């Protein structure tokens, strides 16, 4: 029984600086690119000539967004794997979507852990 979760809100609140520093040693080439891209807020231009600063998360449509989501969710994916290891739950993640497959009890345990810990996971 698959369970699907939209992680968009939590992931959009993820701060690049703290997340990418955690992973700098394991993924240094992509870290450099993400750090250079998101180190300072991006200026988003509005139709009326004004602008606003994009200060959190990634910009929609950015090709690096999937890499950023992957880096940001990596600790949560590992924690979920550890939490449900004995239940043989398989999980799949892509960008801000996740799913799990396994026994009903195992998927329920996965879902409850995700609900309880996902939003505040950093």
Instruction: Compute the distance between CA of residue 79 and CA of residue 76 in angstroms, rounded to an integer.
Output: 5
pLDDT confidence bin for 122, thresholds 50/70/90: low
pLDDT in tens, 71-86: 778 888 889 999 888 8
Q: Left if phi > 0, otherwise alpha if psi is -120 to 50, otherwise beta: which for 67?
A: alpha
Contact 37, 64 (CB under 8 A): yes
pLDDT at position 60: 67
Give the start-to-end residue ranges of the domains of the chain: 3-117
Given the structure tokens 């180190």, which residue do they identify?
Answer: 39
Start-to-end C-alpha separation, the chain: 28
Judge contact between 51 and 44, C-beta under 8 A.
yes
């Amino acid at each position: 029984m698959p369970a699907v979760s939209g992680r968009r809100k939590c992931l959009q609140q993820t701060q690049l600086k703290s997340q990418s520093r955690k992973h700098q040693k394991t993924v240094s080439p992509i870290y450099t690119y993400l750090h250079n891209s998101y180190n300072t807020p991006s200026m988003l231009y509005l139709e009326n000539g004004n602008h606003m600063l994009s200060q959190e998360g990634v910009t929609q449509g950015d090709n690096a967004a999937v890499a950023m989501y992957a880096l940001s969710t990596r600790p949560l994916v590992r924690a979920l794997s550890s939490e449900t290891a004995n239940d043989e739950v398989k999980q799949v993640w892509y960008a801000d979507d996740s799913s799990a497959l396994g026994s009903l009890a195992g998927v329920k345990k996965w879902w409850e852990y995700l609900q309880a810990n996902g939003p505040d996971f950093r």
